Structure 1
Amino acid sequence: MALPFWKVKRELKRLAFQLQDLPRRLQNLPAVLRHDKTLAEYEAGFDQAIRLIPGAAPIGPKVALLVIYQPGGLPPSVLHTIGYLTRHGYAVLAVLNTPLPEGDLARLTSLCWRVLERPNFGYDFGGYRDGLRILSREGVTAERLIIMNDSVWFPFQGDPLSQLEAMLEAEGLDAVGLNQDQKLRRDASGAESFETRQLESYFFLFSGEAIHSEPFQAFWQSYRMSSDKSYTIKHGEVGFSSYLMERGLRLKGMIRRQEFLEAMEAAAVEDLRLALDYAAYADETYARDGAALLASYDGSSDWRVKALAHVRTVALRRPFNVGFPLAADRLFGTAYVKKNSQAFFHRMRMQILRGIDNGLIAPPPPELLSEFRAMVETYERNPPANAERTL
């Protein structure tokens, strides 16, 4: 029996990516081979490698573990996030994966319960692991726990934390996140269904029961942090959610691909035109297709069918809220925006700013808008070439 063409195409793409990634893997091989020794040395010297600084904020039943990596100094957006979490009653443990100037450190300690300085070992999941270790050492028993990093502007607009807390309670969930990955699967007959996968790892909100559950505790006790990016994506970003869900914990994201595609199926033709007008593309072929569709717009049902097929194809290949930010905003709101440095995300931010300036997307608070606009304008002057995903 011959393999379906789509499967052959998928496997060829996978092979091409693996070949493209081979030089990086070879370059990282010495570090991979030394990993066990490096990890053992880090664990043995942990107390000498870190600095735990008391902050002015009191501890409480709700705790937020925020990993910060800002080599250029603390931007207003991080202080905005901390202020927002604090107003919602969360005591913040800030985990620094890079040193900060003393002035920035003083600002953090005035707002946080504790500030943990650590080496940048293991990326964000290394920071998560060490932050949880500190909470355990300090005897903190949380009824709610946020684990997040500073790779997003959060909240960008609205009050997403109230929505997430309401979801957690109303649906009896163990954890909620901002975005949950879903992959389209086809069975042997060609029938389609969505497989719900990991919560995107820049934000988790856990219930008290989940924090103290055996799966949660077991994952972090056994997690072997690494500074190999592929390892961290596989075993941290993807592996964490998978581990919890396989052991019965219920996780759900505020925005998901299936709901987006269902909404697009019901969208008016003018809404589809706007979705394409404010689209961001990582793939040149799809960018050309989108431009051709916009140029041929006539409001007809035939055009609508073509536009829907285009949106579906692109949204299944790339993050839909990055590819179609205006359409995603109209459905879910823009609770957060990624700070990812790759070109695809820059194009998305350019379209969001265009939507704000044209009155189609609600703006964030002024201090965030200034930072956001400055980043967009910098990259408009000097656009990067690489459009691929990074951790």
Structure 2
Amino acid sequence: MRFPFIALSGPLRRKWHDLRKNRNSKYTNGTLAAGPNVVLYLLYQPKGLLASSVETCRYFAAKGFSVFIVSNAPLSDADRNTLSGLSFGVLERENFGYDFGGYRDGILHLLESGIQMDKLLIMNDSVWFPTFDDEDFLDHVLAAKTDLYGAVLSQRKQHMAQRHLQSYAVAFGKKLLASKDFAVFWRHLLLSSNREWTIRNCEVQMTVHFRKLGYSLDARWGFESLGSVLDQLSDDELKDLLRLEAELERKRAPTIEALIATHGSPTWRADVTAFVDSRKFRKQIMLLHPAALSRMNFPFMKKSREPFYSVLRPLYAKWLGNKCAPTVLQELSHWD
């Protein structure tokens, strides 16, 4: 119900933000040089910089990315000094527009500064990354030939026109970065501090917009390519997967429990596969359940304090603690 008001007031709010952002922002030069492969790493840590975020910055550099920090919260002098030593620039801004507000201000700053980029990756600290030492997502980002490349492509069969690159991470290629279309999209983006608006009209529409303009896209993982993962799971792991789905989707719990009860029948694995491939199963579980994401080398874990994710973190720490980066394991074990 709020969306019409947001749409009508959006242009004025955006103009007001742009008029005030120089006064309300603080830019600090970093000690490192800017290279052709840039990562815009967005932070919102009003209680102080997390050790895992420092390690993430170092990891980006080790993989060949120049780090540009955008903070949606004021930084302490100590944290600012730490981040400036890990990047070529630190931009502190008012927290307007959620992550896409930060992406917009950061991207426009990069474009206006004339930074020459072959690749730009945007990622925020709503996830721990990398959770695994041997992750290969950034290698795929650097090797990608498409105009947009993301971690996860949402491919819900009933909403094929709304397929979008989820906000774990999205990279833009040189052709798109150099185009007028790229700058125009970010300048005209309507921002709001309404979370649902940001998801639907920024995150989803970014992919939809550039796909309609003819730009190519791809992702490291897609919901409809997860069937091969099921074949790698043991029967016990499949039962754990179903139990997690039952806990998160209570309305479907009786159906799922009935399926679990038929374990041992000749058609059990085929029945489970059919259920997971149906619309009844939340495909996102495959990207969150430790047994599945371990097989996929999926190196992200969400920090959201929603009950959905609070259920997952203890399982992650229990089942994948031996693979998880120590700093990340320490933080997620005490997060809730």
The one-letter code sitting in structure 1 at the alignment partner of 2:299 is A
Say if 1:146 and 1:162 are closer, same or farther in 2 by CA, change over 3 A.
Answer: closer
Query: RMSD across aligned C-alpha pairs, in angstroms?
Result: 2.7
Residue of structure 1 aligned with 2:294, choices 329, 332, 342: 329
Residue in 1 that maps onto 2:98 = 123
The residue number in structure 2 matching 1:308 is 273
Q: Which of the two has higher C-alpha Rg?
A: 1
Following superposition, the deviation at residue 119 of structure 1 comes to: 0.5
1:265 Cα offset (Å): 6.6
Relative to 1, partners in 2 of residues 1:177 and 1:30: Cα closer, same or farther, differing over 3 Å?
A: closer
Q: Which residue of 2 aligns with 1:6?
A: none
Deviations 1:273-313 (A, max 9, x none): 3533565742213345444544x254322332442344334
* Deviation of 1:135 (Å): 0.8
Q: Report the Cα distance in structure 2 between the residues aligned to 1:323 and 1:290, rounded to whole angstroms.
A: 18
The residue that corresponds to 2:318 in the other structure is 354
Maintained 8 Å contact 1:286/1:314 = no
Q: In structure 2, how many angstroms separate the alpha carbons of the residues matched to 1:142 and 1:247?
A: 21
Q: Does structure 1 residue 284 correspond to structure 2 residue 250? A: yes
Task: Decide whether aligned partners of structure 1 residues 287 and 327 sit closer, same or farther in structure 2, where only a CA change above 3 A counts.
Answer: farther
Question: Match of 2:68, SS?
Answer: strand
Deviation at 1:223, TM superposition (A): 1.4
CA distance in 1, matches of 2:37, 2:60: 10
1:163, distance to aligned residue in structure 2 (A): 3.5
Tell me, yes or no, if structure 1 residue 367 matches structure 2 residue 316: no
Unmatched 5+ stretches in structure 2 = none
Change (3 A) 1:277 1:228: closer
Letter in 2 for 1:370: Q
Q: How does 1:214-233 map to 2 (within 5 A)?
A: 214-233=180-199
DSSP-derived class of the 1:45 partner: helix
TM-score normalised according to structure 1 size: 0.77
Answer yes or no: is 1:345 the counterpart of 2:318: no
Letter in 2 for 1:178: A
Q: How does 1:1-391 map to 2 (within 5 A)?
A: 25=2, 34-157=9-132, 158-165=134-141, 167-168=143-144, 172-185=145-158, 197-261=163-227, 263-264=229-230, 269=235, 271-276=237-242, 281-294=247-260, 296=261, 298-313=263-278, 316-317=281-282, 319-322=284-287, 324-330=289-295, 332-356=296-320, 363-375=323-335, 378=336
Whether the aligned pair in 1 keeps the contact of 2:128 and 2:302 (CA below 8 Å) is: yes
Unmatched 5+ stretches in structure 1: 1-21, 187-193, 379-391
Q: CA deviation at 1:234?
A: 2.0
Percent identical across equivalent pairs?
28
Question: Secondary structure of the residue that 1:57 maps to in structure 2?
Answer: coil
Q: Residues of 2 paired with 1:285 and 1:351: CA distance?
A: 22
Superposition deviation, residue 179 in structure 1: 0.9
SS at match of 1:301: coil
Number of aligned residue pairs: give it.
Answer: 335
Task: Considering Cα pairs closer than 8 Å and 6+ residues apart, tell me whether 1 or 2 has the greater RCO.
Answer: 2
Cα distance, 1:142–1:374 mapped onto 2, change above 3 Å = same
Structure 1 CA distance for aligned equivalents of residues 57 and 41 of structure 2: 8
Partner Cα separation in structure 1 for residue 22 and residue 189 of structure 2:
19
State the secondary structure of the residue aligned to 1:307.
helix
Q: 1:32 to 1:177 in 2, by over 3 A?
A: closer
Deviation at 1:161, TM superposition (A): 3.6
- The answer to whether the 8 Å contact 1:73/1:101 transfers is yes
Retained in 2: the 8 A contact 1:61–1:143?
yes
SS class of match (2:120): strand
Which string of whole-angstrom CA distances, capped at 9 and with x for unpartnered residues, describes residues 127-161 of structure 1? 11110111122210111111111111111112334
Structure 2 distance, partners of 1:98, 1:280, is 38
Contact in 1 for aligned 2:36/2:118 (Cα 8 Å):
yes
